[in-house]
Structure 1
Amino acid sequence: MKCIDTLPEAQRFVAQFKDGSYRQIVALTGAGISTDSGIPDFRSPGGIWSKRQPVQYQDFVADEDSRLEDWDRRFEMMDYFARAEPNAAHQAMTSLAQAGKLHCLITQNVDGLHQRAGFPNDKLVEIHGNSTFATCLSCGVRAELEAQKPIVDAGQSPRCSDCNGLLKAAVISFGQQMPEMELERAAEAAAACDLFLVLGSSLVVHPAAQLPAIAVRGGADLVILNGQETPLDSYASTVIRTPLAQTFARFGE
């Protein structure tokens, strides 16, 4: 395993992703790609979950106070997302996809920054959902978050205008079933790639943490770009420790 911890070397290394021989690249992105955009990490010391514990799905469904707590959290995160802008790492993934090199981007993030960076929806797999809009738990209809704020401010959890079902941010909550179709797409893409990139993921959350191992078993090279060690570093051919936005700052040149 090669470890790169200097920025010039890291920038030279990632340049090969667009110019090299890899034809079927798959990427997995986690919270670390968005921290440079001003979105706080969830799990790190001092992160969001150290201040406000997440609401469990079963509590959301069963309890009005839990629903209101979850909605309050969503509006807080909505403010973070609104202020954030995609950074050079987000833009680099879009560039790779547009060049036909990156065939699938699997993200654990719920901030919508990949979409705002122009990443094509047909190549994006959001395995933890998306927290920038809501859906009805009964009929699946989409609803915008901002429209729900007056209802929450009045002390009520929002309901679907079509069927009166519970509205919830479209993120996958703890205790909620993971989206089977997205997980199948992610696993199939990992098994078929020749290069699997990990950008800003601690690789401790399953089932996403299994995807790099699937890729390696299929014969792919694994490159992990993350500030801290991960449980799968030993599987990687190269580990890069430099900040992601700076690492990809010259990617489009």
Structure 2
Amino acid sequence: MRMRPTLSWTPTEEPRPGTTDPEPVVEALTAGGVLVLSGAGLSTESGIPDYRGEGGSLRRHTPMTYQEFTANTQARRRYWARSHLGWRTFGRARPNAGHRAVAAFGRHGALSGLITQNVDGLHQAAGSDGVVELHGSLDRVVCLSCGAFTPRREVARRLEEANAGFEPVAAGLNPDGDADLTDDQVGDFRVVPCAGCGGVLKPDVVFFGEAVPPQRVGHCRDLVDGATSLLVLGSSLTVMSGLRFVRQAARAGKPVVIVNRDPTRGDGHAVTRVALPLGSTLTAVADRLGVALDDRGAGAGLPPR
């Protein structure tokens, strides 16, 4: 029989200072029934930058909004040129120790579920099952007209054929797979339409300004209801898509533990924030629990382009 964690706290809107003691993570996982909510910070050790941490991409890059993408042909050309180039890097990304630790916690029976805000597929590559991709995944493409889904590798092949010799050097990569290119580098990049109906194609990810599908949100809320505690890994919780689950857990009296080096918007609702690097911290927690990490997924990220 699972016992509720003995962690206690009083929710507040004021942020609390972080700690360097991972004991609250150990305690929550020992009790079991933990729902994990992961963010971009978990994938930085795999070479994928985050949005808001030190050196985060929002310091130099404004993501394209859904409204701009759907309304502007030139904006779609710019997005697809940058995303096509960035996909090559995403396809080479590999799960890091943090992803492997989360998968090990799942195999150990400590988790009740896993929600990720990331679109990189690295949790699945590390061996985690039942991952809820809150913001979608870059390895699928959807037609905005007919709703058909296409594997990203197939769209990438068509884009390669339509843009032979497209080999610009990007200034950087962003968490959504969007590489930094100038308008001159984008040039007259050719966007391919849906092979079925000729409609506009879009990666199956939630853009800024786009709502997470209500059914997906409802499923995540059910996971929060069924969990004993919530463990947030590498998310600043700046946007409501993730913060709402932290608030829901806190309202229900479920302990929230955050592992993130920088302060987050959810700190006031948490038992504590562990201000340590994710990979080494989660590996140490696994050692404390006697949970072995394996190399599952160490050689595989998203499907190759």
Question: Which TM-score band applies after superposition, normalised by the shorter structure?
Answer: 0.7 to 0.9
String of CA shifts for 1:79-135, please: whole Å, max 9, x gaps.
332332111211122122223321211111111111111111xx2111111123312
Distance 1:153 1:45 in 2: 35
- Of the two, which has the highest radius of gyration? 2
Aligned match of 2:233 = 199
Which of 26, 39, 48 in structure 1 is aligned with 2:48? 39
Q: Pick the structure with more strand per residue.
A: 1
Matching residue within 125, 128, 138 for 1:131:
138
Identity of aligned residues (%): 35
Write the distance in 2 (CA, Å) between the matches of 1:191 and 1:13. 20
Residue 111 of structure 2 aligns with which residue? 102
Coordinate RMSD, CA, aligned: 2.2
State the AA in 2 paired with 1:141.
Answer: F
Are 2:38 and 1:26 equivalent residues in the alignment? no
Pair 1:144-2:152 in alignment: yes
- The answer for the alignment partner of 2:247 in structure 1 is 213
Note the residue ranges of structure 2 that are not aligned, 5 or more in a row. Answer: 1-8, 10-15, 165-188, 293-305
Q: Cα deviation per residue 1:37-88 (whole Å; 9 max; x = unaligned)?
A: 1111123464333333222212222222111111122124323323321112
From 126, 141, 154, the counterpart of 1:117: 126
Moved more, 192-201 or 92-101: 92-101
Change beyond 3 A, Cα 1:187–1:90: same
CA deviation after TM superposition for structure 1 residue 156, in Å: 2.3
Once the 2 structures are TM-superposed, how far is the Cα of residue 151 of structure 1 from its aligned partner?
Answer: 5.5
Q: 1:231 to 1:216 in 2, by over 3 A?
A: same
Whole-angstrom distance in 2 between the partners of 1:49 and 1:148? 30
Equivalent residue in structure 2 for 1:156, among 190, 203, 208:
190
More displaced 10-residue stretch of structure 1: 240-249 or 68-77: 68-77
Report if aligned partners of 2:24, 2:257 keep a CA contact under 8 Å in 1.
no
Moved more, 100-109 or 240-249: 100-109
Distance (whole Å) between structure 1 residues aligned to residue 56 and residue 24 of structure 2: 30
Work out the CA distance in 1 between the residues paired with 2:40 and 2:121.
12
CA contact (8 A) 2:159 2:191 kept: no
Structure 1 length normalisation: TM-score?
Answer: 0.87
- Tell me, in whole angstroms, the C-alpha distance in 1 between the residues paired with 2:65 and 2:268: 33
Normalised by the size of structure 2, how large is the TM-score?
Answer: 0.73
Name the SS for the 1:133 alignment partner.
Answer: strand
Q: Secondary structure at the match of 2:86?
A: helix
> Which of 214, 217, 224 is equivalent to 1:180?
214
CA gap 1:151/1:68 in 2 versus in 1, 3 angstroms: farther
Query: Is contact 1:194-1:219 (8 Å) kept?
Result: no
Check the 8 A contact 1:106/1:127 in 2, yes or no: yes
Shift of 1:16: 4.1
Q: Which has the higher contact order (CA 8 A, sep 6+)?
A: 2
What residue identity is the alignment partner of 1:57?
Y
- Could you say what secondary structure the match of 1:231 adopts? coil
AA in 1 matched with 2:157: A
Q: Distance in 1 between matches of 2:18 and 2:149?
A: 46
* Deviation, structure 1 residue 223: 0.6
What SS does the corresponding residue of 2:240 show, helix, strand or coil?
coil
